[in-house]
Amino acid sequence: AASPGPSTDSPVTPSKPRSGRAAPRGADQTRAVAKAALASFSEGGYRLTQIAHVSERLGVSVGAIYRHVESKEALFHLAVLAAVNQLPEAFILPMKVSGFEDTLRVMGELVDSRPAWPILRKALRSAAPPDRKAEARAVGGELFAIMSGRAALIRLLDRCAQDIPELAEVFDRQVRNRLLDDLITWVHRRRLAGDSQKPAAEALARGAMEAVAWLAKARPYDSTATAITEDQARDAAVRIFANAFD
Structure letter (DSSP) for residue 127: P
Residue 114's pLDDT band, with cuts at 50, 70 and 90, is low
Which range (16-20, 108-112, 186-190, 223-227) has the least confidence? 16-20
Label residue 115 exposed, middle or buried (CB < 10 Å: 0-12, 13-18, 19+): exposed
Quote the pTM value: 0.81
Which range (31-40, 42-51, 172-181, 225-234) has the least confidence? 172-181
- Non-local CB neighbours of 1 within 8 Å, separated by 6+ positions: 52
Quick: pLDDT tens for 17-72. 333 334 335 689 999 999 999 999 999 999 999 999 999 999 999 999 999 999 99
Helices in the chain by DSSP H: which ranges?
Answer: 24-48, 51-58, 62-66, 72-83, 101-113, 118-125, 132-149, 151-160, 165-171, 177-189, 198-213, 230-243
**What does pLDDT average to over the chain?**
87
